[in-house]
Amino acid sequence: MTLQLGETAPDFTVASTEGNIQFHEWLGDDWAVLFSHPADYTPVCTTELGAFAKRKDEFASRGVKLIGVSVDPLDSHNDWVKDIEKTQGAGLNFPLLADKDQVVADLYGMIHPKADPKVTVRTVFIIDSAKKIRLMLTYPPSTGRNLDEILRVIDSLQLTDNHKVATPVDWKNGEDVIIVPSLSNEEAKERFPDGWDEQTPYLRVTRQPGRK
């Protein structure tokens, strides 16, 4: 199945380390980061799950829940969690789906046969409170994810949802933003009374809304 941005994230009911998860019900009115792992007891995944656990509060402060998925069974997950806590200094504090029947992997297109026919690639889905897919990132099994980038994208999405702006290359929360081209100068004056730097008619740089 090939998903696209803006589509509703597929619902599912799957066992997890925190009991059965009916995804849409579990998500509620929050955002989510759904991320897959090639397999249990793999070194890169171990570091990733520990890192997500350590930074759970940073996601929670943005109204974002974390949920991982691996095609290994629940008893394997429960044993693996001990290694994660031992080696990474953080216990698992969010659900890890036991997708042994590849229900989630198939719904979300996490198996890439030309990369590996048996394991999920490292895919990240950012899903908003309307249950729409807002971002998809796919890494090869050998490459760990960058949590700073995932948080940066969430900050950008949530900011641009609420204001008529876009975020430029390498933008970080608190830095200047771009007024969207669809907004006329007259409309922009109402929204951005402090003005902007018009580098070209379509590239108008202004202070991030809400920044002091």
CATH number (domain holding residue 78) = 3.40.30.10
Q: What is the pLDDT at residue 59?
A: 98
Of 144, 176, 197, which residue sits at a domain end?
144
Q: Which amino acid is at 181?
A: P
pLDDT per position as a tens digit, 90-121: 999 999 999 888 899 889 988 754 445 445 55
Token pair belonging to 77: 């997950």
Q: Are residues 84 and 175 in the same domain?
A: no
Cβ contact 192:210 at 8 Å: no
Question: Pick from 107, 81, 90, 89: which is nearest to 18 by CA?
Answer: 81
User: 180 in helix, strand or coil?
Assistant: coil
Against a cut of 0.75, is the pTM above it? yes
What is the spatial order of strands in the sheet that 133-139 belongs to? 96-98, 64-70, 31-37, 122-127, 133-139
Q: What is the pLDDT at residue 211?
A: 79
**CA distances, 90 to each of 70, 72, 150, 164 (Å):** 19, 21, 20, 39
The whole-angstrom separation of Cα 192 and Cα 171 is: 19
pLDDT per position as a tens digit, 8-61: 999 999 999 999 999 999 999 999 999 988 777 888 889 999 999 999 999 999
pLDDT per position as a tens digit, 128-153: 999 999 999 988 878 889 999 999 99
Q: The CATH number of the domain where 192 resides is what? A: 3.30.1020.10
2 belongs to a structural domain: no
Q: Which amino acid is at 131?
A: K
Residue 25 belongs to domain spanning:
13-144
Q: Are residues 91 and 170 in the same domain?
A: no
- DSSP strand pairing (31-37 vs 64-70): parallel
DSSP letter for 63, please.
T
Q: What is the pLDDT at residue 39?
A: 76
Cβ contact 209:174 at 8 Å: no
The CA radius of gyration of the chain, in Å to the nearest whole number, is 19
Which residues neighbour 178 within 8 Å (Cβ) at sequence distance 6 or greater? 165, 166, 167, 168, 203, 204, 205, 206
Q: Are residues 126 and 28 in the same domain?
A: yes
Catalytic residues: 45
Look up tokens 């799950």; give the residue. Answer: 49
Q: Are residues 117 and 198 in the same domain?
A: no
Token pair belonging to 169: 């290359």
